[in-house]
């Protein structure tokens, strides 16, 4: 178990309330009239007043200006031709498996039998710069605010096309084995928003058609298939968002919507149950944000529809402000890029909901990332200036999340200081989108990720896939690197790399004013059921605030190995040997470093063959030995400087 050397981090113990909704067979509480999803009949006038409000609020902006931005986007989407999407579907080794295209119509999109692992429908329905969902939701919302007929007509045209499709999931994806996926969830909640927001303008026949589509192509396939997804994954949450909003939209006309809603609330609670026990998401920062901000749609709709539930009493939600603040780099205002994804802000929609519900920590996080001003429809709907009270937290933001295996070593909220983010875990939960990167770290300094992660792993180019997903592409340790290792595209590579997505563990953590400390153990991640490769790989890191980091690695095996310590830059950075030191340079900043070992070492600056665009990395390799140590100093600086500690 984790040894907490100091209680300055605090202990958050939240007792959940009795789960009253869990035993319900139906939930018909709250609003049973339209609209009820984005807004309800009582709040619609307030929404329109907010859109017209020219008063500068205490956060320095006018809500009328926010609406003007949304309105302008809706107008721009109105001017575009019918939605169309095309893609050259990639395959192994950069091959093009097939060319796929579709223009929105009554016809279901065509199959793509040559590429069952690729999901073109997802791009058509995720909310992005332009998609079917983006258009439908913007047109519905513009209709609600302005009452202008053209927006209704645009929304209605899209919805009637979708209602005539045979199904709302891509049956080619997974070769027919996937009955509901991301496309289903996004399509269903967008259609639910249309049905609810435009209900009074639909003919009786159109209402029947919409209800039949929402049930037969949305709710039923989702609730019939969602349990094939682990509850702690984004797919589960996106599907639930679709089914929940559809159930809410149908309740005024169909009591079965209450039964579906009760199921959705129960399943949402299951998803929250499966989050990190002390906070955080197992699927990585980016996909964890996708998961939780999809559930934010559920929470928003439940609030608008005034449904009785106990989800906000769930203890997991109380951990999220610490997760977002503690893992947000003070300089970049981004959460680190562990696992698939890219650096970005963490769960802004959920934080907005918690801030509106009185969390001063959540409001302070929104202030730090520049998100107190709404940036889209959902933020605009929920924005209430009077409820937001951003205050710096009283707790130390250097923090640890043992269950998911993340820790931050940082100098409070000092944006001029470096900050290090460490990953060793999860210990047991093997989940997609993670990498083989236990005991790895990234470093943020001077407004950039000066020691980065590789981000989303490459799917189709073998060398790049091995490097970006495997241990070699991360700041951890690999074993016995030779020509055969470089030529073999297998990921993971047993005997060299970590072979288990689980197995790391954070054992010790300390957060103080003068220094932070973390210890991770990762030997188990290198071992399989048939081969025990490592006896020990313990990594200890000390941050002497606000100046430098000391890393101590202790490695041991029953057999001799050549151990390689890895430190990475990217395609923008450079690494140069400077005598017995090395210098990692990137825009505006540098890191001086030195690596010592108890064994004889060879220091190399390399790029990975056929993956050179990822940039250089430092590899310090020992001679073959059963056990060794590495002691590494990292000294970030804003400009070239030969340090006195040499």
Q: What is the DSSP string of 30-93?
A: S--SSS-SSS-TTTHHHHHHHHH-----TTS--HHHHHHHHHHHHHHHHHS-S-EEEEEEE-GG
Q: Mean of the pLDDT values across residues 78-88?
A: 98
Which value, in Å, is the radius of gyration of the alpha carbons in the chain?
26
Q: Tell me: do 164 and 48 sit in the same domain.
A: yes
Residue 16 lies in a domain: no
In this model, does residue 185 exceed pLDDT 70?
yes
Boundary (domain end) residue, out of 357, 387, 417:
387
Of the pLDDT bands very low, low, confident and very high (cuts 50, 70, 90), residue 268 is very high
Lowest mean pLDDT among 317-321, 615-619, 636-640: 636-640
Of the pLDDT bands very low, low, confident and very high (cuts 50, 70, 90), residue 24 is low
Q: For the domain that residue 273 is a member of, what is the CATH number?
A: 1.50.10.100
Phi, psi of 168 (to 5 degrees): -110, 30
Q: What is the pLDDT of residue 2?
A: 60
Mean model confidence pLDDT for the chain: 94
Q: What is the pLDDT of residue 459?
A: 87
Give the three-state DSSP class for 269.
helix
Residue 383 lies in a domain: yes
Please write the tens of the pLDDT for every residue from 281-297.
999 999 999 999 999 99
Tell me the torsion sign for CA atoms 314, 320, 322, 323.
Answer: positive
Q: What is the pLDDT of residue 640?
A: 60
Which comes out higher in pLDDT, residue 94 or 210? 210
Residue 9 lies in a domain: no
In total, the chain counts a number of residues equal to: 646
Q: DSSP secondary structure string, 552-565?
A: EEEEEEEEEE-EEE
Please write the tens of the pLDDT for every residue from 104-139.
999 999 999 999 999 999 999 999 999 999 999 999
Tell me the torsion sign for CA atoms 620, 566, 551, 494.
Answer: negative
Q: Tell me: do 371 and 415 sit in the same domain.
A: no
Q: Tell me: do 235 and 289 sit in the same domain.
A: yes
In this model, does residue 7 exceed pLDDT 60?
no
Phi, psi of 102 (to 5 degrees): -160, 140
What does the angle CA 75 – CA 81 – CA 86 come to, to the nearest 5 degrees? 120
Of the pLDDT bands very low, low, confident and very high (cuts 50, 70, 90), residue 455 is confident
Q: Tell me: do 275 and 191 sit in the same domain.
A: yes
Of the pLDDT bands very low, low, confident and very high (cuts 50, 70, 90), residue 19 is very low
Q: DSSP secondary structure string, 199-256?
A: GGGS-HHHHHHHHHHIIIIIIHHHHHHGGGS-TTSHHHHHHHHHHHHHHHHHTTT-TH
Residue 89 lies in a domain: no
Of the pLDDT bands very low, low, confident and very high (cuts 50, 70, 90), residue 18 is very low
Q: State the residue range of the domain holding 602.
A: 400-637
Boundary (domain end) residue, out of 364, 387, 410:
387
Locate tokens 């940039």: which residue? 615
Q: How many domains does the chain have?
A: 2
Residue 644 lies in a domain: no
- Cβ contact 555:628 at 8 Å: yes
Phi, psi of 645 (to 5 degrees): -80, 0
Q: Tell me: do 414 and 305 sit in the same domain.
A: no
Q: Is the pTM of this model over 0.85?
A: yes
Q: Tell me: do 418 and 306 sit in the same domain.
A: no
Q: Tell me: do 608 and 587 sit in the same domain.
A: yes
Q: Tell me: do 367 and 225 sit in the same domain.
A: yes
- Cβ contact 431:282 at 8 Å: yes
Q: Tell me: do 372 and 428 sit in the same domain.
A: no
Q: Tell me: do 264 and 306 sit in the same domain.
A: yes
Residue 13 lies in a domain: no
Q: Tell me: do 365 and 464 sit in the same domain.
A: no
In this model, does residue 266 exceed pLDDT 80?
yes
Q: For the domain that residue 551 is a member of, what is the CATH number?
A: 2.70.98.70
- Range 600-607 contact pairs with CB under 8 angstroms and sequence separation of 24 or more: 603/577, 605/575, 605/576, 605/577
Boundary (domain end) residue, out of 322, 352, 387:
387
Tell me the torsion sign for CA atoms 161, 162, 167, 173.
Answer: positive
The sheet that has 563-568: what strands, in order across it? 477-479, 563-568, 617-622, 601-606
Q: Tell me: do 186 and 38 sit in the same domain.
A: yes
Q: Mean of the pLDDT values across residues 238-259?
A: 98
CA distance linking residue 567 with residue 552, whole number of Å? 14
Rounded (to 5) percent helix, strand, coil in the chain? 35, 20, 45
In this model, does residue 21 exceed pLDDT 70?
no
Of the pLDDT bands very low, low, confident and very high (cuts 50, 70, 90), residue 342 is confident
Q: Mean of the pLDDT values across residues 560-582?
A: 94
Residue 528 lies in a domain: yes
CA distance linking residue 504 with residue 502, whole number of Å? 6
Residue 6 lies in a domain: no
Please write the tens of the pLDDT for every residue from 508-552.
999 999 999 999 999 999 999 999 999 999 999 999 999 999 999
Q: DSSP secondary structure string, 352-392?
A: HHHHHTT-HHHHHHHHHTT-SS--SHHHHHH--GGG-----
What pairing do the DSSP bridges indicate for beta strands 419-423 and 536-544? unpaired
Which comes out higher in pLDDT, residue 93 or 1? 93
**Cα 64 off chain centre by:** 31
Q: Mean of the pLDDT values across residues 376-393?
A: 98
Contacts with 162 (C-beta within 8 Å, 6 or more apart), sequence order: 132, 168, 187, 191, 213
């Amino acid at each position: 178990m984790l040894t907490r050397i100091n209680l300055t981090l605090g202990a958050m113990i939240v007792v959940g309330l009795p789960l009253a909704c869990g035993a319900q067979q139906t939930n018909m509480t709250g609003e049973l009239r339209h609209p009820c999803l984005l807004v309800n009949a009582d709040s619609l006038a307030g929404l329109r007043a907010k859109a017209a409000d020219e008063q500068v609020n205490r956060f320095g902006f006018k809500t009328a200006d926010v609406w003007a931005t949304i309105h302008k986007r809706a107008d721009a989407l109105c001017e575009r031709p019918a939605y169309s999407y095309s893609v050259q579907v990639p395959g192994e080794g950069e091959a093009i498996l097939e060319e796929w295209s579709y223009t929105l119509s009554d016809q279901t999109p065509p199959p793509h039998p040559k590429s069952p692992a690729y999901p073109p429908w997802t791009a058509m329905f995720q909310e992005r710069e332009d998609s079917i969902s983006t258009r439908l939701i913007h047109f519905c919302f513009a209709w609600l605010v302005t009452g202008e007929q053209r927006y209704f007509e645009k929304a209605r045209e899209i919805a009637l096309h979708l209602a005539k499709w045979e199904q709302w999931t891509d049956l080619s994806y997974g070769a027919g084995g996937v009955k509901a996926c991301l496309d289903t969830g996004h399509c269903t909640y967008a259609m639910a928003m249309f049905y609810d927001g435009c209900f009074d303008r639909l003919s009786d026949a159109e209402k029947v058609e919409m209800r039949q589509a929402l049930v037969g192509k949305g709710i039923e396939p989702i609730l019939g298939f969602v349990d094939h997804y682990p509850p702690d994954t984004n797919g589960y949450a996106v599907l639930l968002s679709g089914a929940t909003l559809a159930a809410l939209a149908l309740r005024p006309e169909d009591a079965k919507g209450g039964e579906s809603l009760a199921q959705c609330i129960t399943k949402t609670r299951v998803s929250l149950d499966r989050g990190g026990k002390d906070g955080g998401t197992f699927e990585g920062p980016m996909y964890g944000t996708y998961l939780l901000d999809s559930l934010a749609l559920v929470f928003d709709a439940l609030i608008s529809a005034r449904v009785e539930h106990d989800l906000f009493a769930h203890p997991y939600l109380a951990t999220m402000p610490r997760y977002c603040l503690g893992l947000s780099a003070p300089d970049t205002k981004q959460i680190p890029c562990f696992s698939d994804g890219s650096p970005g802000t963490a769960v802004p929609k959920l934080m907005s909901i918690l801030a509106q519900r009185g969390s001063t920590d959540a409001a302070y996080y929104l202030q730090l990332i520049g998100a107190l001003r709404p940036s889209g429809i959902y933020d605009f709907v929920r924005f209430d200036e009077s409820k937001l009270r951003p205050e710096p937290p009283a707790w130390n933001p250097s923090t640890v999340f043992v269950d998911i295996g993340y820790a931050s070593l940082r100098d409070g909220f000092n944006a001029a200081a470096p900050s290090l983010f460490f990953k060793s875990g999860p210990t047991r939960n093997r989940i997609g989108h993670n990498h083989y990167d236990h005991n790895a770290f990234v470093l943020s300094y001077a407004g950039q990720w000066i020691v980065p992660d590789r981000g989303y792993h490459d799917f189709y180019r073998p060398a790049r896939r091995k490097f970006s997903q495997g241990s070699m592409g991360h700041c951890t340790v690999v074993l016995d690197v030779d020509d055969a290792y470089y030529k073999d595209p297998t990921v993971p590579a047993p005997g060299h790399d970590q072979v288990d997505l689980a197995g790391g563990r954070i054992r010790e953590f300390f957060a103080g004013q003068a220094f932070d400390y973390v210890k991770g153990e990762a030997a188990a991640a290198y071992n399989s059921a048939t081969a025990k490769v490592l006896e020990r790989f313990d990594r200890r890191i000390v941050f002497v605030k606000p100046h430098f980091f000391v890393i101590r690695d202790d490695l041991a095996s029953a057999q001799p190995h050549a151990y390689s310590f890895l430190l990475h830059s990217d395609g923008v950075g450079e690494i140069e040997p400077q005598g017995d030191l090395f210098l990692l340079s990137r825009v505006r900043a540098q890191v001086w470093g030195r690596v010592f070992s108890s064994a004889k070492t060879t220091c190399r600056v390399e790029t990975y063959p056929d993956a050179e665009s990822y940039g250089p990395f430092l590899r310090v390799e020992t001679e073959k030995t059963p056990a060794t140590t590495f002691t590494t100093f990292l000294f970030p600086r804003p400009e070239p400087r030969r340090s006195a500690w040499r």
